[in-house]
Amino acid sequence: MSGEPQRRFVSSRGAAAQLGFGAALQQGLASDGGLYVPQTWPRLTPAEFADTQTLPEVAARLIGAFIGDDPLAAQLPALAREVFNFPAPLVPLREDGRLSVLQLFHGPTAAFKDFGARFLAACFARLRAGESRPLTILVATSGDTGGAVAAAFHRRPGFRVVVLFPRGLVSPTQERQLTCWGDNVRSLAVRGRFDDCQRLVKEAFLEPQLRSELSLSSANSINLGRLLPQAAYYAATSLAVWRKHGEPASFIIPSGNLGNALACLWARTAGLPIGAVVLAHNANRTVPDFLETGEWRPRASVATLASAMDVGDPSNMERLRALYPQLEGLRAAVSAVSVSDQDIRARISAGYRDYGQIWCPHTAVAVEAWERLPQQARATHRWVLVSTAHPAKFAQIVEPQIGAAVPVPPALAELFSRPVHHDEIDPGLEALRPLLREG
């Protein structure tokens, strides 16, 4: 999209200044507490991707359409090649091609969060070249985000990372990934739930004194630099299905904080050939209940086997409601289901038995959502189940269900050999503030 004017991003709450992509990325959270969304939407067609074959090429084209003539635009092809240097294969589960699984766990920390975290780090490194003041990246995680962000920024000069995770509410493998870095990464176990971690990040951003003392930014999916690269793998997958079958791809997405789902919906809004979108939630029913009743009632999160989705007050609902302000429009755009731990266990077992596939608990939530679809919907759409994490991250859950050991990818095996360290804090800004100031 070279030559297109710089596109602007505005707050979902409407009271903050418009910013270009690079500025919005560094700001993280808008000054009015809202999340940045496109002021206007690019309008694309599959034909405009005719000369793109690889994921990096699709990513550069798609993200370029969103950011226009931003200073980062000229670097997008190199950025995309640097970031998207591992595959996101679409694996068919049925011979007719009507059911496939999109594997997003082949990055360095074996979860889909690697795409966004690595893109964000690469952008920050370019945007802050020559800066003398370090940037503190503050990130709340329910499991996978923190490890991906830590890996992406580890030992990068000019950056500090502070990871907040709920004590005792992530898997043992996830906790190891969150606490094995050292150097410029500090890990904090919060005596609370993920929603407390997320609230702490927002409070830190909105405190004027902290903002004046420190350069702060976010690496959660509240940051544009996380969302747009995730939209790229939805674009690439939908284009592959479109080219092969001449039909749109429909996605079933394991959903917690809604960043991954928003990325898919943003790609669809921009014109990519994406059909139905189903949000597959665990026992945290805030979003399914909202779609059913029309009442938005955030609540304390419930601990489940699919721990990375244990979110009771998803931040990106604000972006989702900005995209679809009317309830009926939102109901037409997405559907949502809630899946129990019992169903998760059953789907892991059935996946190994029926497909020879080993699925993490989050992927199993998506599979269960597909199983609940009406027969006509299953027969008339080309469904893609989004597999968000490698099952080895949840071996304690998965292995009893399949009666076999889960192979450990080399990237995870390397992390298991590192020493670990973390501090514990209470879930209040008064506990976090001095740690942020320590430097």
> What is the maximum alpha-carbon separation in the chain?
59
- Percent of the chain predicted with pLDDT > 90: 78
pLDDT band at 67 (very low <50, low <70, confident <90, very high): very high
Structural domains of the chain, count: 1
- CATH number of the domain bearing residue 85: 3.40.50.1100
Structural domain of 276? 80-112+225-409
276 lies in some domain: yes
Which tokens sit at 217? 């930014």
Nearest Cα neighbor of 280 from 234, 344, 202, 355 is 344
165 lies in some domain: no
pLDDT given at position 437: 85
265 lies in some domain: yes
The pTM of this model reads 0.91
Q: What is the pLDDT of residues 241-266, one digit of tens each?
A: 999 999 999 999 999 999 999 999 99
Q: What is the pLDDT of residues 158-173, one digit of tens each?
A: 999 999 999 998 888 8
Tell me the β-bridge partners of 27. Answer: none
292 lies in some domain: yes
426 lies in some domain: no
d(CA 265, CA 117): 19
422 lies in some domain: no
Q: What is the pLDDT of residues 127-156, one digit of tens each?
A: 988 888 899 999 888 777 888 999 999 999
Q: Is residue 133 classed exposed, middle or buried when 0-12, 13-18 and 19+ CB atoms within 10 A define those classes?
A: exposed
Residues 6+ apart with CB under 8 A from 426: 190, 191, 192
Which tokens sit at 172? 């043992």
Within 13 Å, how many C-alpha atoms sit on residue 35's CB side?
25
pLDDT given at position 194: 85
59 lies in some domain: no
Cα 404 → chain centroid:
29
pLDDT at 122 over 70: yes
pLDDT given at position 2: 45
344 lies in some domain: yes
pLDDT at 211 over 90: no
